[in-house]
Structure 1
Amino acid sequence: MQHTFDFAPVLDAWPALLQGALQTLKISGISMALGLCLGIIFMLMRMSPVKAVSAVALAYIEVIRNTPFLVQVFFIFFGMPSLGITLTAEQAAILAMTLNCAAYSAEIVRGGVESIRKGQIEAGRALGLHTFDVYRYIIFRPAIRAVYPALCSQFILMMLNSSLVASVSAEELTYVGQSIDAETFRSFEVYFVLGVIYLALSQFFSIVLQLIGKAYFSYPTK
């Protein structure tokens, strides 16, 4: 059976695809920012000398990293209403992506923090730096600089995984593509175009993250 390719019906729906792409950027951007902040908190808990605090953080990280992301999305959207917590599809998507990102970010950042030599921290304290400044300039900034490429890769992977939240009707790019496919029955054309758009979004995120890295985490040049 010969298939006649026709991209016109898909391209005619470009306003919906653009809106879906923007929604993907929105959900992913919010989740990245919240996930990194939450990940740093769990990283500090994970490295806490208090065993109970460290155990809670470790349990959270292991549960998130060893269960499918799609199951996490379903649990938040379909399971939490049984506890009296009902979220919209977009809210559930952001929460699931944030929690998932936090677990991976915590371990990535922890690897960077553990690479900082204790002598550097002691030197900072000997110079009279405040504890906050020691954490800011001697621990966190060099640590994030060391693991920044890994964080960028994780963020881009999370953006691509955002396609899974279409399963709970979050109106991002994949959900829009599924709607167009249902109307036009042009599955090949729809998902080919979606693949191209996701590739473009990945490149966009990569460029933005590189610019952020150069602005905040690059070594000063003479």
Structure 2
Amino acid sequence: MLDFSVVVNRWQDLVYGVGSTLALSCAGIVLALCIGLLGAALQRSSRLIFLVPVRIFVEVIRNTPFLVQIFFLFFALPFIGVRMDPTMTAVIALAINGGAYSIEIIRGGVESIPRGQIEAGAALGLSQFQILGDIVMVPALRAIYPALTSQFILLTLTSSVCSSISANELTHYAQRIESETFRSFEVYFTITGLYLVISWLMMTTLSMLGRRLFSYPNQ
């Protein structure tokens, strides 16, 4: 016999879990975007001292599981004296993981800009900053925005793995409720719906933001 009262009675914990998941994910997304922009810029450098570390970072992160990465940060780093609480570890792990994928997405967008456009900007007397911002980054971000939003939504769903180190987020609270009530179906059915709502809200918000920032001017 199904009994969703165990979920209803703990609605405050679930609401707090949703808020914690959104806060955790947003912090990770912002840092991941910063890492992506910096890494993509360094990848365009001709100096191996910048290029090689970024490429190694991308390959290592993209070819190892997120669970292993967060375990390394939380359990391995204390052996060399680096200790972080679960929430900080979760944010950094999400930022590193999302940053590696963002580097490749942004790099692909930047490389899609024809060289002739950059040369035309220089011929018109635009500064390097104007060329980078108006001719390279804006069109590149417009092209890769859908891929970036998909990656950030995926990163939000990946945050559920952070429950493995007891970081405060939705799955962690669900596990706590399930361990106290033994109503697995009701609890995980409910958080499945909550994750769907979170994904829909993020997708809708990011789509509106993209239309506002990257829509072409009216002719």
Instruction: Tell me which residue corresponds to 2:123.
Output: 126
Instruction: Tell me which residue corresponds to 2:19.
Output: 22
Q: Distance in 2 between matches of 1:125 and 1:29?
A: 37
> What do residues 78-129 of structure 1 show as CA deviations (whole Å, max 9, x unaligned)?
1111111110100000000000011000000111001000111111112221
SS of aligned partner of 2:2: coil
Amino acid at match of 2:162: V
Instruction: Tell me which residue corresponds to 1:48.
Output: 45
Question: What is the TM-score with the length of structure 2 in the denominator?
Answer: 0.98
Instruction: Tell me which residue corresponds to 2:95.
Output: 98
Q: Distance in 2 between matches of 1:186 and 1:24?
A: 22
Structure 1 unaligned regions, length at least 5 = none
Instruction: Tell me which residue corresponds to 2:156.
Output: 159
Instruction: Tell me which residue corresponds to 1:176.
Output: 173
SS of aligned partner of 1:64: helix
Question: What is the TM-score with the length of structure 1 in the denominator?
Answer: 0.97
SS of aligned partner of 2:210: helix
Structure 2 unaligned regions, length at least 5 = none
Runs (4+) of structure 1 exceeding 3 A deviation are none
Among 6, 11, 14, which residue is 1:9 paired with? 6
**Pairwise CA distance, 1:212:** 1.2
The answer to whether residue 136 in structure 2 is matched with residue 139 in structure 1 is: yes
Instruction: Tell me which residue corresponds to 1:188.
Output: 185
**Pairwise CA distance, 1:52:** 2.8
The answer to whether residue 105 in structure 2 is matched with residue 108 in structure 1 is: yes
Instruction: Tell me which residue corresponds to 1:61.
Output: 58
What are the within-5 Å matches in structure 2 for residues 55-94 of structure 1? 55-94=52-91
The answer to whether residue 31 in structure 2 is matched with residue 39 in structure 1 is: no
SS of aligned partner of 1:76: helix
**Pairwise CA distance, 1:11:** 1.6
**Pairwise CA distance, 1:47:** 2.0
Q: Distance in 1 between matches of 2:124 and 2:27?
A: 37
> What do residues 166-194 of structure 1 show as CA deviations (whole Å, max 9, x unaligned)?
00000100000000001111000000001
**Pairwise CA distance, 1:51:** 2.1
Q: Percent identity?
A: 46
SS of aligned partner of 1:23: helix
Instruction: Tell me which residue corresponds to 2:145.
Output: 148
